[in-house]
Amino acid sequence: MGKLYGNCDLPKKSPLSAEDKRGNRELSGARARNKHAIGLVKRFLILAERRNRRRRFGLRFSLIAGSCNFDLAN
């Protein structure tokens, strides 16, 4: 098992109560939204490929994230 951090949430294992099931569903929904957002940003191939990754990466990521947020807001 990998190193665990204090601010990470892991799903509960069996046996599950009704409250644990609800919590696992909420956690999985949040993970799905995060994965969809990462996938949306990776559609810009400049972030998905590995070459030229260091030069002004922060600027590129901020511009692409702003564009994605603008599209999601409209």
Domain ranges of the chain: 18-73
pLDDT reported for residue 51: 66
Report how far residue 21's alpha carbon sits from residue 25's, in angstroms, rounded to the nearest whole number: 6
pLDDT reported for residue 13: 84
Tell me which of 38 and 2 has the higher pLDDT.
38
C-alpha separations of 68 from 32, 38, 73 in Å: 17, 10, 9
pLDDT reported for residue 1: 46
Report how far residue 28's alpha carbon sits from residue 22's, in angstroms, rounded to the nearest whole number: 10
**pLDDT digit string, tens, across residues 14-67:** 888 899 889 888 888 888 888 888 888 777 766 666 665 667 777 877 888 888
- Closest by alpha carbon to 60, among 46, 39, 74? 46
Residue with tokens 């692409």: 64
